[in-house]
Amino acid sequence: MNLFNIISEIEKVDPEIHERLNPRRAAIKNITSFGSKVAVAAMPFALGTLFKKAYGQATSTVVDVLNFALTLEHLEAGFYNKGATTSGLIPSADSAYIGFVTRDENAHVKFLQGAITASGGTPVGPATFDFTGGNNKGNGPFPTVFSSYATFLAVAQVFEDTGVRAYKGQAPNLIGNQDILTAALSIHAVEARHASAIRKLRHDLGHDTNIKPYIVSTATLGNDTGVAAANNNYKGEENVTQGGVNLVSALKVSVGVATASFDEPLSKEDVTALLVGSFIVSN
Amino acid sequence: MKTEINPITGGANMARRSFLRYAGASAAAVAVMGAAASCSKNDRVIVTPGGGADIGSGDPGILNYAYALEQLEAAFYLQVIATPYSGISTIETSYLTDIRDHEVVHRDFFKAALGSKAITALTPDFSKIDFSSRAQVLGAAKAFEDLGVQAYDGAGYLIKDAGYLTIAGKIVSVEARHAALISNLISPGTFVPADQVNSDGLNKSASIAEVLAQANTYLKTKVSAVNYNYKP
């Protein structure tokens, strides 16, 4: 089964899946109070046991979210690991800078594997990747991804910004899970730090003199990277209405300021459509 | 209507109508009233002793918590741009102006979204910051951005409504982008500093009490969170 489709598959047979995750349920409230009494070191195991008892089948959804995140982290870690071992790609002046990102993505893989195992799930392994975006043909929109540093950083930026959107989109599925939601938000913040850093590097190297550390969209185009092949990765970033407040009309600010002030989420289905069959090889 | 208690002498909650009556009767209360001058007719202002503000409870409480922090950040960057530090570069001016604009949008968004539930306008106290010093301004900016990220990440689990949680998520990643940028301006390559990101690659998060204790050192109007075990 395609792991990306698990939630929608569950929804088909169990329309109440979201209700089962409702934080008002006593069983879920109890996790929080119990968790606060458990030593931090024992938390992953205790949580896993509790999920199995208290959530029942909803455990599968939590694991599914974590495996979805792990799939993305495998993609990012694989990408940076390949970049780091490709001779002549990353200038020595930037090796430490990129190295921090590489380090974090590998740490995320390890952390998520541990969290999934502790929750009673089985961590997914890395998919087969084609970092040109060519679905294993090696001739996607980014054929020079490991021969041109500029292309490498452009792809890095798209991965980071997309990762931020993917984590954001999953947060509501973790409501009621203090530890897992907080961890997911904490990874989300680090992905955003990476995105900011890659964007600034691209600016400082002159690869894109207009790029900012944040996503500055126009009214009609979310993508501010100048990489047209990534337009769909930024689709929706042009949104200027938040919680019913149209920032442009109500607060009298520009579209650029309004869009840069809020990052937009992506659903699992959207992320899957963006990555599977291009960067993540599908059979 | 809640029990009417004089905001100067004590009490945690007070309806605005009675609040204004007391404010008009007491010179000491004028300062409190000034801080709440932006309130509309139907506001329910929560006033704490000494003219502070309490975030309240539930999702509006968490949104007010965010609103308090965004007020602080916006006020800081407004000052940074109004009185630029010596030697500020063109690109630094551009970045700090952008960040000012984002924080003002965040502040005004929360005020609009909270409507009558919004806490009062807070008066900052930046007397400890030398705004002519690049090191001090960027150091304070890093502290504010890092604190903001830790605050949103640490309070996310308290939010019940998926829509509100998503909005918090939309803002925290922008704060994290700011945090990385400011760190990179202070020292290139420090966008995931060891004081913020642990060996698991997780950003630190902080409790409401931890965050407000820090924030209050930059606020004349003290913010409390009695429902989350924090009083200044």
Look at A262 and B197 and tell me if their CB atoms are within 8 Å: no
Phi then psi dihedrals of residue A30, to 5 deg: -65, -30
Span A107-131, mean pLDDT?
97
Per-residue pLDDT at B218 exceeds 70: yes
Residue B131 and residue B76 in contact, taking contact as beta carbons nearer than 8 Å:
no
The model's pLDDT over A218-238, given as tens digits with 9 standing for 90+, comes to: 999 999 999 999 999 999 999
Question: Which chain B residues are closer than 8 Å to A192 by Cβ?
Answer: 172-174, 176-177, 180
* Facing residue for B101 by CB, picked from A100, A193, A253: A253
pLDDT at residue A46 in the model = 43
The model's pLDDT over B119-149, given as tens digits with 9 standing for 90+, comes to: 999 999 999 999 999 999 999 999 999 999 9
Split at pLDDT 50, 70, 90, the class of B48 is low
Per-residue pLDDT at A170 exceeds 80: yes
Look at A175 and B159 and tell me if their CB atoms are within 8 Å: yes
Per-residue pLDDT at B6 exceeds 90: no
The model's pLDDT over A178-196, given as tens digits with 9 standing for 90+, comes to: 999 999 999 999 999 999 9
pLDDT at residue B102 in the model = 98
The model's pLDDT over A41-70, given as tens digits with 9 standing for 90+, comes to: 444 444 444 444 444 436 678 999 999 999
* Facing residue for A171 by CB, picked from B154, B165, B174: B165
What sign for the dihedral angle of Cα A88, A89, A93, A98? Answer: negative
Task: Compare A37 and B187 and report the one with higher pLDDT.
Answer: B187
Span B145-156, mean pLDDT?
98
Per-residue pLDDT at B167 exceeds 60: yes
- How large a percentage of chain A has pLDDT more than 70? 79
Q: What is the spatial distance between Cα B219 and Cα A194, in angstroms, rounded to a whole number?
A: 31
The model's pLDDT over A128-148, given as tens digits with 9 standing for 90+, comes to: 999 999 999 999 999 999 999
Mutate to test the interface with B, among A185, A209, A246 (most CBs of B within 10 A): A185
Q: Supply the ipTM of this predicted assembly.
A: 0.81
Question: Which chain A residues are closer than 8 Å to B101 by Cβ?
Answer: 253, 257, 260-261
pLDDT at residue A58 in the model = 64
Per-residue pLDDT at B181 exceeds 50: yes
Dump the DSSP string for chain B: -PPP--TTT--S---HHHHHHHHHH-HHHHHHHHHTTT--TT----EETTTEEE--SHHHHHHHHHHHHHHHHHHHHHHHHHSPPTT--HHHHHHHHHHHHHHHHHHHHHHHHHGGGPPPPPPB--TT--TT-HHHHHHHHHHHHHHHHHHHHHHGGG---HHHHHHHHHHHHHHHHHHHHHHHHHSTT-SS-TTTB-TTSPBP---HHHHHHHHGGGBSS-EEBGGGTB--
- Residue B138, C-beta contacts closer than 8 angstroms, at least 6 positions apart: B182, B185, B186
Residue A180 and residue A115 in contact, taking contact as beta carbons nearer than 8 Å:
yes
Closest residue of chain B to A112, computed from CA coordinates: B200
Per-residue pLDDT at A7 exceeds 90: no
Look at A194 and B166 and tell me if their CB atoms are within 8 Å: no
Minimum distance, in Å, between the CA of residue A150 and any CA atom of chain B: 18
Span B195-215, mean pLDDT?
98
* Facing residue for A213 by CB, picked from B106, B169, B181: B181
Question: Which chain B residues are closer than 8 Å to A260 by Cβ?
Answer: 98, 101-102, 174
Q: Name residue A246's beta-bridge partners.
A: A241
Task: Give, to the nearest 10 degrees, the angle between helix A58-84 and helix A178-204.
Answer: 30
- How large a percentage of chain A has pLDDT more than 90? 78
* Facing residue for B109 by CB, picked from A32, A212, A242: A242
Per-residue pLDDT at B185 exceeds 60: yes
* Facing residue for B201 by CB, picked from A171, A190, A265: A190
Per-residue pLDDT at A27 exceeds 50: no
pLDDT at residue B113 in the model = 96
Look at B192 and A194 and tell me if their CB atoms are within 8 Å: yes
The model's pLDDT over B70-105, given as tens digits with 9 standing for 90+, comes to: 999 999 999 999 999 999 999 999 999 999 999 999
Residue B153 and residue B200 in contact, taking contact as beta carbons nearer than 8 Å:
no
Structure tokens at B138: 């960027």
Minimum distance, in Å, between the CA of residue B25 and any CA atom of chain A: 35
Look at A257 and B98 and tell me if their CB atoms are within 8 Å: yes
Question: Which chain A residues are closer than 8 Å to B149 by Cβ?
Answer: 189
**C-alpha distances in angstroms, B49 versus B92, B125, B222, B231?**
40, 19, 10, 11
Split at pLDDT 50, 70, 90, the class of B51 is confident
Torsion of CA B93, B175, A96, A274, to 10 degrees: -110
Give the HSE-up count for residue A88: Cα atoms under 13 Å, Cβ half-sphere.
3
